[in-house]
Amino acid sequence: MRLHNPTTITGVELICMCEFKTWLLDMGAGKLPKIVVEGEDDATWITIPDDLLIPIANNPIQAMLSNVIHDILNRLSDFSYLKERCILCPTSDEVNNINLHVLESILVDMHEMLSADTICATTDNFEEMQILYPTEFLNTLRFSSVPNYIIYLKANAPIILLRDLNLQKGRCNGTRLVVTQISQRVLEAFIITGTRVGEKVLTGRVDMTPNDIS
């Protein structure tokens, strides 16, 4: 996307971006040279450039954070810094581990945000389902489309919306914000991406139903 508007980057940065673009597209198309690793017969592995790798460390999460969001305690008010950094994870458990690690480094009170898990009232055999699946059991379930029963949050922490709440006011899936105040039922935050940067928004409780029916 940056290469579509090359006037925003020049010189060495432009060359590096072009090289990365070429490498990324070649990887997706299966054009990169493959190597054979010990114990395997076919060449199925590729070599990742050193500048795209984080050195091995005793604490891999801290090593990753040091490379991606280094000096975060002094940059929490720098919205342009925060909006350009994001860590993608293969599983929700990894997301939770990294989020908790970052939150623990922010020196303000931690808040536990609890969901209210219930069987949908329109479910067939509703009363029987309530007996079979009590609230304590529902609290243990994990779905990719909804937050866990307990999520931890702090003021000054960057967050990302996972639902389209109000498109006209810039609150859509993927919008990044920074939390300013936390109450029992309402969350106050500043938008740091999109067309509504700097605006303060209030978000209340939202009804969510998991998409995973398996």
- DSSP collapsed to 3 states, 6-66: HHHCCHHHHHHHHHHHHHHHHHHCCCCCCECCCCCCCCCECCCCHHHCCCCCCCHHHHHHH
Q: What does DSSP assign to residue 191? A: E
3-48 pLDDT per residue, tens: 666 666 778 888 888 888 899 999 989 999 998 888 888 888 999 8
Q: What is the pLDDT along the chain (214 residues), one digit of tens a residue?
A: 666 666 667 788 888 888 888 999 999 899 999 988 888 888 889 998 888 888 888 888 888 888 888 888 788 888 888 888 888 888 888 888 999 988 998 889 999 999 999 998 888 888 999 999 999 999 998 887 788 899 999 999 999 988 888 888 889 988 999 999 999 889 999 999 988 888 999 998 888 887 766 5
Q: What does DSSP assign to residue 3? A: G
Alpha helices in 90-199 (DSSP H): 92-105, 126-132, 135-138
Query: Residue for token digits 């480094």?
Result: 105
**Cβ distance 98 to 89 under 8 Å?**
yes
